[in-house]
Amino acid sequence: MVRFPFLFNLSEGVNMKMIRLALLSMLFFMVAVPSFAAGRLTYYCSTDIPWCELMKKEFEKRTGIRVAMTRASSGETLTKIRAEKSNPKGDVWWGGTGDPHLQAAEEGLSQPYNSPKLSELHDWAKTPHTATGGKTVGIYLGALGYGYNKELLAKKGLPAPKCWNDLLHSAYKDEIMMAYPSTSGTAYTTLASMVQLFGEDGGFNYMKGLHKNISQYTKSGSAGIKASARGEITIGVVFVHGAVKQATKGFPIEAVAPCEGTGYEIGSASIIKGARNLESARKFIDFALTADVQSMSAQVKSYQVPSNKNAVSPPEAPDVSSIKLIDYNHALYGSKAERTRLLKKWDAEVKVLPR
């Protein structure tokens, strides 16, 4: 027969101590665990930190729901959501350019929701919503354009560019930076916008002409304007609000919304499929589409155009009525097939050309 005396021997003598310890620790955990009566929400955020934090705090204040926030760029967040697909950990994903949100919708990573606030939105904000069957909705608009360094431009005696076609002028040779369309959402939006603005052939001819003047393709979309701010390059192709932001930081940057009209990104928000706190996630979307919440973005120096018609646009924000926006086809150019086709074509026809 097998006996296990040690199991019992061990506890002899330490009995009282152990019981006391157990009781104490129980007490400790009862104190240490707060109650989340109002629920919780796991929130993935892809704008800059201050705006993310503002949204989190404001939502907690208004609803009493405890928010756990993780911030990463929109590409990284999409990658994370994709990797977590079999056991989703996030509930709602807010901010970042619309493209990854559209990709998420296409890959079935997000779920539809019709917010009661939809009727208060600009038409452009509803486009992604209709295009994806309700899986993502626009929260802000950022027009595409470029920014230049005024000091450097004056020093070199170059004319101030106003249009897309100005950038093709040979005077700007080696003075322009943009990102690779295959690595950056900004640069892909540029490519897609040119194709929509000038037609497929015209658009690619434009990209070929621009290619001759490009000093360097960067990998991240915002690298160009940052380099321009510090005088490393004269012109950076970016979203206008990105250029405005550098200017408000004190750099000699002038933002340009090109005269021919331009494409734009729609910063979006989506509810992740399989969200554990679906009710909280829906409340968050309603909250994010509310006019007074959107009006708060100027507090954290974010100058995108809000999607709620009643929201107050920050005075520094580029005036959307003065920008000619093209009728950007998000459903087509956000789809994986078309994106892959355009990027392959750019790689094959533009990238290989000598400069």
Would you tell me which residues interact with another protein (CB under 8 A)? 2-6, 25-26, 29-30, 33, 42-43, 48-49, 53, 67-73, 75-76, 78-80, 83-84, 86-87, 89, 99, 103, 180-185, 187-188, 215-217, 219-220, 222, 226, 229-233, 245-246, 249-251, 339-340, 343, 352, 354
Q: Where are the alpha helices (DSSP H) in 33-160?
A: 49-63, 74-83, 98-106, 123-131, 150-156
Q: How far is the CB of 322 from another protein (least distance, A)?
A: 25
Task: Give the nearer residue to another protein in terms of CB position, either 206 or 333.
Answer: 333
Task: Give the nearer residue to another protein in terms of CB position, either 48 or 58.
Answer: 48
Task: Give the nearer residue to another protein in terms of CB position, either 86 or 322.
Answer: 86
Rg of the chain taking only CA atoms, in angstroms: 25
Task: Give the nearer residue to another protein in terms of CB position, either 87 or 119.
Answer: 87
Q: How far is CA 325 from CA 107, 152, 228, in A?
A: 28, 29, 25
User: 124 near 98, Cβ under 8 Å?
Assistant: no
Task: Give the nearer residue to another protein in terms of CB position, either 233 or 296.
Answer: 233
Q: How far is the CB of 43 from another protein (least distance, A)?
A: 8
Task: Give the nearer residue to another protein in terms of CB position, either 44 or 289.
Answer: 44
Task: Give the nearer residue to another protein in terms of CB position, either 72 or 291.
Answer: 72
Q: How far is the CB of 234 from another protein (least distance, A)?
A: 10
Q: What is the dihedral of CA 234, 240, 242, 243, to 10 degrees?
A: 40
- On the CB side of 329, CA atoms within 13 Å amount to 12
d(CA 4, CA 242): 71
Q: How far is the CB of 25 from another protein (least distance, A)?
A: 7
Q: How far is the CB of 130 from another protein (least distance, A)?
A: 23
Max Cα distance, the chain (Å):
99
How do beta strands 176-179 and 235-239 pair? parallel
Place of tokens 């006391």: 20
Which of 83, 352, 77 is closest to 211 using CA atoms? 352
Q: How far is the CB of 310 from another protein (least distance, A)?
A: 27
Which of 266, 261, 20 is closest to 139 using CA atoms? 266
Q: How far is the CB of 321 from another protein (least distance, A)?
A: 27
Task: Give the nearer residue to another protein in terms of CB position, either 35 or 321.
Answer: 35
Which two structure tokens, joined as six digits, stand for 72? Answer: 């990463």
Q: How far is CA 62 from CA 31, 40, 232, in A?
A: 25, 13, 45
**Please, what's the b/e burial string for 20-35 (b: 16 or more CB within 10 A of its CB; e: otherwise)?**
eeeeeeeeeeeeeeee
Q: How far is the CB of 249 from another protein (least distance, A)?
A: 6
